[in-house]
Amino acid sequence: MVANTEERGEMIAVAAYYLAEHRGFTAGSAIEDWLEAEQQIDRMLETIRQQGISRLRFERAGLRNALRLWDSGQANNR
């Protein structure tokens, strides 16, 4: 799977948000979050490329993971 520049940027933005959320959105770490997110996303994309994972398989895995997170969040609200 090859992500275009826009897709890669969106992935990095989401990853950086979750890194910031994980540390409680404390001020002064946005650049570090972005740089860490870039490294993580680039490693992930390289692994996907090396393993020959298709876009469809990648998207299905993402949807499955999102549903798991949503379901676990719903369970916590019960």
- Tell me how far apart the alpha carbons of residues 1 and 66 are, in angstroms, rounded to a whole number: 19
Regarding pTM above 0.95, the answer is: no
pLDDT tens-place string over residues 21-75 = 988 999 989 999 999 999 999 999 998 889 998 888 888 887 777 777 777 666 6
Domain extent for 18: 5-76
Contact 41, 48 (CB under 8 A): no
Q: Is residue 78 scored above 60 in pLDDT?
A: no
pLDDT at 63: 74
| CB-based burial label for 16 (10 Å; 0-12, 13-18, 19+) | buried
User: 32 is written with which tokens?
Assistant: 């570090």
> How many domains does the chain divide into?
1
